Amino acid sequence: MTHSAKRLRRAAIAWSVLILLGLTLFLLGWKGAIWFNMPSRKKYPVRGVDVSHYQGDIDFSLIAKQGISFVFIKATEGSGTADDRFSANWDNARAAGLLTGAYHFYSFESAPETQADNFIRTVPYAEDALPPVIDLEYYRGSDAANLAPEAVRRDLGTLLSRFREAYGKTPVIYTTSSCYADYLEGADLGEDYLLWIRSVLTPPDDTLNWTFWQYNPRGLLKGYSGDERFIDLNAFRGTLADLQALGT
């Protein structure tokens, strides 16, 4: 075998090893066994989850023992849908001592007034609860492409106003980078809000002035038994006392 042939053979073996390693790491990440975009525990010590009926029956006491301090629970979607596990999740999370909040999945097809009504009649007022959340993201079948950004911003402003009026706290908007760029960046919604940004490949840009960061949508914890084996993991930008202050 010539020197050139040996060199090509070594290069082929090296590339094969790299490809195999890459595929292995990808599969481990897909299965939730490892995650590369992990925030520093020293910098962001306060961690939380967000849940819905997909996690099934949840043992929040066990969740809390795994370094979790807060939870946001899906309450409603659009103008007429309520998560069928919201009430149980809300009561059980609070009983377990977790700082608890509720979120509404925003519909591009529904009027903001009826969406607000749906959330407010579902989520009870609690003085120590975390602020209400609007979950703004694209979804299959969304009518967002047919709506002017100004119309979406106007509707978001209405929801923010209604949520603030009902719960007495500055609401949160959870969103993806694409929705942030399309609807929130540089926009005046008429109401202040706290930003919860989804950024699963890299840390979020600190200039966004975010408050919550969803860093892992495929987390694995003990304590739930639903069809969904993964759970969303989040970090809070501040201390536990800072987070508790949001509830007051």
Given 50, 77, 83, 155, the catalytic residue: 50
Q: How far is CA 13 from CA 1, 6, 23, in A?
A: 16, 11, 15
What is the reported pLDDT for 167?
98
Fold of 39-246: TIM Barrel (3.20.20)
What is the reported pLDDT for 35?
61
What is the reported pLDDT for 193?
98
Given 83, 135, 155, 232, the catalytic residue: 135
Contact (CB, 8 A) for 112 and 158: yes
Q: Residue written as tokens 């962001």?
A: 44
What are the 10-residue block averages of pLDDT along the chain, 248 residues in total? 62 53 43 69 96 98 98 98 98 98 97 98 98 97 90 97 98 97 95 97 92 97 95 97 90
What is the reported pLDDT for 124?
98
What is the reported pLDDT for 7?
65
| Cα 70 from Cα 210, distance rounded (Å) | 17
| Cα 89 from Cα 206, distance rounded (Å) | 32
What is the reported pLDDT for 55?
98
3-state secondary structure of 190: coil
Q: 43: Cβ–Cβ under 8 A, 6 or more apart, which residues?
A: none
Contact (CB, 8 A) for 53 and 85: yes
What the block records as the tokens of 36 is 């590369």
What the block records as the tokens of 152 is 């979406």
What is the reported pLDDT for 14?
53
| Cα 158 from Cα 190, distance rounded (Å) | 8
| Cα 87 from Cα 244, distance rounded (Å) | 22
What is the reported pLDDT for 185?
96
3-state secondary structure of 38: coil
Given 117, 137, 182, 191, the catalytic residue: 137
What the block records as the tokens of 225 is 């038994």
**H/E stretch holding 230:** none
What is the reported pLDDT for 15?
55
**135 a catalytic residue:** yes
What are the boundaries of each domain within the chain? 1-34, 39-246
What the block records as the tokens of 160 is 């923010």
Q: How far is CA 194 from CA 136, 164, 191, 219, in A?
A: 13, 12, 10, 24
**59 a catalytic residue:** no
Q: What is the pTM of this model?
A: 0.86
**191 a catalytic residue:** no
